Amino acid sequence: MYVGAILTEYSHVIWQFAVFASTTTIAEYVCGLLLKYGLHMRAWDYSSCALNISGLICAKMTVVWGLLGVLFKKYCMPYIKGLIKVLDFGLVQAVTYIFSAFMALNLFLTALCIVRWSRRHLGYPPGNALEKYIDIKYGDNRMKHRFCEWSFIDN
């Protein structure tokens, strides 16, 4: 079911909270699992929080995600909708495509660097010219500085 259809102007705030809290918590858990088992890394740790699951998610952050979603919908979305109404649709669509393409490329390149960082940590040498370039341009020190909260899970 499409989340936007659930979160209409008329849906109850408790329902909105539940949708925002559950979808973001599930996304956080899946991302945490991918980092933990796919790259042997950890970007956050909720182990010290009450009601946590493997330190990847916790009840406190579920509440925070739900509240942030409700607040964003209530206070930011009306302004965004109003701004979109006064702008030229063609311009909005073009800008949306440009920013979406930029963010997709950014996400892809960042993921490449993170995967290479993990493989480098696990002792795998670069397998091609791109990985050699990443090792030079985005070495361990630069990655540690950029992702300062991240750590490797060594068995």
* Tens of pLDDT, residues 88-101: 888 888 999 999 99
Helix segments in the chain, DSSP class H = 3-6, 13-33, 59-71, 77-86, 89-121, 129-137, 140-146
- For the whole model, what pTM was predicted? 0.81
What one-letter code names the amino acid at 86? V
| Mean pLDDT rounded to a whole number for the chain | 92
Specify the pLDDT at position 140: 97
Tokens of 142: 């630069």
CA-to-CA distance for 12 and 75, rounded, in angstroms? 16
Which range among 7-21, 59-73, 110-124 shows the weakest confidence by mean pLDDT? 7-21
pLDDT at 85: 83
Number of Cβ within a 10 Å radius of residue 97: 10
- pLDDT tens digit sequence for 27-55: 999 999 999 999 999 999 999 999 999 99
User: What percentage of the chain exceeds 70 in pLDDT?
Assistant: 93
Confidence of residue 18 (pLDDT cuts 50, 70, 90): very high
Mean pLDDT of 122-128: 96
Angle at 85 between CA 83 and CA 89, to 5 degrees: 105
Contacts of 106 (CB under 8 A, 6+ apart): none
Buried b (16+ CB within 10 A) or exposed e, 70-89: beebeeeeeeeeeeeeeeee
Pairing of strands 57-58, 52-53: antiparallel
